[in-house]
């Protein structure tokens, strides 16, 4: 796939940002790529962001600019859920925002209020926060990801942020760190082959035609799986996420092709768990999809409002889509090695299609954590 290079780089003019290893990595990676670089104060940056929001396609245009700045809020966040659906007790490191890829369904389009690509370079603050918060409860089973407000690896060839996080977590095997991506970038992981048992590499999966028509500028499903196989060869375990599962043309055939590809490149023993989540969206996102991707039909279907106020398919349709994917996976994973779970589904859906619903988010999170730890080898 084609890697992202910004046309413009704006750097917050503060010593800790100018001198940060993240800033240095990015500037060295863009050498010779003709990006303009400017150092600006906070007020000037705020004014430029306001200006950039005005054009109609501000979101697409804004991605050409990379802003290297400071995160003044918390880095470590709990993945937001609702009381009415079962969540997996996941934590997120908010290290960057926005994404150079263009999935039509991407929630970031409605969520972010800054059209630029953003990377937070105040990494010393990040480590100080992790040091003070992660150790407060020694019994807490943390699974921590970085792919919530961006793709974990979309800027890795520039910033090497994931590599720096892997170094931080190298002597803290009690924390599981997951890098989730729609890219095929593997260098960070192959460079550290064999030594990082608490690092999980995770790939989004979807039906082939959804990948081709709704996940623009991403790696193809096959490219992701070739990358996953390289990571397995380098000693890592893989997790997969079928999310969002979309009611799309030729669903069963296209999904079967994807599942066949998964097991062409990976063995069931290489995959720790697979999550399943059906397409859901807030009203603001539907408007943006209609405006930015007029050829996409994904919002023209029958939906019901969920407890989280998001539109989702009716229960019978979600159940049909999930059943198809589950049966396909189980036809390959005959020994049930792979843990399957739902993202944001009701206990009724669990009881109908998987084992009995977990009694709490912590119970599901604990099960997934234990599954990761069970693969650690004695060193």
Residue 24: CB minimum distance to ligand SF4, A: 25
Tokens of 306: 């969920």
Q: Give the Cα separation of 331 and 344 in Å (integer).
A: 25
Residue 180: CB minimum distance to ligand SF4, A: 8
User: For ligand SF4, what does the binding mask look like between residues 69 and 108, x meaning CB under 6 A?
Assistant: ------------------------------x-xxx--x-x
Toward ligand SF4, which CB reaches closer, 3 or 337?
3
Kind plus residue range of the DSSP H or E element containing 205: strand 199-205
Toward ligand SF4, which CB reaches closer, 106 or 246?
106
User: For ligand SF4, what does the binding mask look like between residues 7 and 46, x meaning CB under 6 A?
Assistant: ----------------------------------------
By CB under 6 A, tell whether 230 contacts ligand SF4.
no
Query: At CA 306, angle to CA 305 and CA 309, rounded to 5?
Result: 75
Tokens of 24: 């240095």
Residue 327: CB minimum distance to ligand SF4, A: 26
Toward ligand SF4, which CB reaches closer, 106 or 353?
106
19-to-22, 26, 330 alpha-carbon distances in Å: 8, 12, 51
Toward ligand SF4, which CB reaches closer, 100 or 306?
100
**Which residues on adjacent β-strands are paired with residue 345?**
86
CA neighbor of 220 nearest in space, from 258, 188, 251, 253: 258
Residue 153: CB minimum distance to ligand SF4, A: 10
Residue 372: CB minimum distance to ligand SF4, A: 22
Toward ligand SF4, which CB reaches closer, 218 or 311?
218
User: For ligand SF4, what does the binding mask look like between residues 208 and 227, x meaning CB under 6 A?
Assistant: ----------x---------
Residue tagged 């396609």 (tokens): 57
307-to-247, 344, 376 alpha-carbon distances in Å: 21, 10, 38
338-to-271, 310, 358 alpha-carbon distances in Å: 6, 29, 17
Q: Give the Cα separation of 236 and 2 in Å (integer).
A: 24
Specify whether the backbone of 89 is left (phi greater than 0), alpha (psi in -120 to 50) or beta. Answer: left
User: For ligand SF4, what does the binding mask look like between residues 139 and 168, x meaning CB under 6 A?
Assistant: -----------xx-----------------
In what order do the strands lie in the sheet containing 303-305?
280-281, 311-313, 303-305
Toward ligand SF4, which CB reaches closer, 151 or 160?
151
Residue 43: CB minimum distance to ligand SF4, A: 29
Please check whether residue 343 is in contact with residue 337, taking contact to mean a CB–CB distance below 8 angstroms. Answer: no
Residue 1: CB minimum distance to ligand SF4, A: 11
Q: How many residues line the site for ligand SF4 (CB under 6 A)?
A: 10
Ranges within 233-292 binding ligand SF4 (CB under 6 A): none
Residue 243: CB minimum distance to ligand SF4, A: 10
Please check whether residue 353 is in contact with residue 326, taking contact to mean a CB–CB distance below 8 angstroms. Answer: yes
CA neighbor of 63 nearest in space, from 122, 120, 112, 23: 112
Toward ligand SF4, which CB reaches closer, 148 or 160?
148
Residue tagged 């940002």 (tokens): 17
User: For ligand SF4, what does the binding mask look like between residues 108 and 127, x meaning CB under 6 A?
Assistant: x-------------------
User: For ligand SF4, what does the binding mask look like between residues 172 and 201, x meaning CB under 6 A?
Assistant: ----------x-------------------
Quick count: other Cβ atoms within 10 Å of Cβ 4?
19
Contacts with ligand SF4 by CB under 6 A lie at 99, 101-103, 106, 108, 150-151, 182, 218
């Amino acid at each position: 796939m084609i890697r992202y290079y910004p046309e413009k780089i704006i750097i917050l003019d503060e010593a800790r940002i100018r001198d940060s290893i993240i800033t240095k990595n990015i500037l060295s990676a863009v050498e010779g790529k003709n990006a303009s670089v400017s150092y600006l104060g906070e007020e000037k940056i705020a004014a430029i962001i306001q200006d950039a929001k005005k054009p109609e396609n501000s979101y697409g245009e804004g991605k050409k600019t990379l802003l290297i700045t400071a995160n003044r809020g918390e880095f470590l966040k709990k993945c937001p859920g609702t009381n009415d659906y079962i969540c997996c007790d996941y934590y997120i490191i908010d290290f960057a925002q926005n994404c150079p890829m263009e999935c039509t369904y991407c929630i970031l389009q409605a969520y972010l209020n800054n059209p630029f690509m953003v990377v937070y370079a105040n990494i010393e603050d990040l480590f100080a926060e992790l040091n003070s918060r992660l150790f407060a409860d020694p019994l807490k089973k943390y699974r921590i990801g970085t792919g919530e407000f961006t793709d974990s690896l979309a800027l890795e060839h520039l910033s090497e942020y994931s590599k720096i996080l892997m170094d931080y977590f190298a002597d803290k095997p009690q924390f599981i760190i997951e890098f989730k991506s729609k890219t095929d970038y593997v260098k960070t992981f192959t460079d550290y082959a064999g030594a990082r048992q608490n690092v999980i590499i995770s790939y989004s999966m979807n039906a082939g035609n959804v990948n081709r028509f709704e996940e623009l500028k991403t790696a193809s499903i096959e490219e992701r799986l070739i990358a996953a196989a390289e990571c397995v060869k380098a000693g890592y375990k893989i997790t997969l996420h079928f999310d969002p599962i979309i009611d799309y043309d030729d669903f069963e055939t296209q999904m079967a092709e994807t599942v066949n590809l998964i097991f062409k490149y990976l063995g069931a023993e290489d995959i720790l768990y697979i999550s399943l989540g059906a397409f859901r969206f807030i009203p603001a996102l539907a408007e943006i999809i209609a405006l930015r991707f007029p050829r996409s039909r994904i919002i023209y279907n029958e939906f019901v409002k969920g407890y989280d106020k998001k539109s989702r398919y009716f229960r019978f349709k979600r159940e049909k889509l999930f059943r198809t994917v589950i049966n396909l996976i189980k036809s390959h994973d005959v020994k049930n090695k792979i843990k399957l779970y739902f993202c944001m589904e009701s206990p009724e859906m669990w009881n109908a299609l998987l084992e009995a619903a977990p009694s709490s988010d912590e119970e599901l999170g604990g099960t997934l954590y234990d599954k990761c730890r069970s693969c650690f080898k004695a060193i």
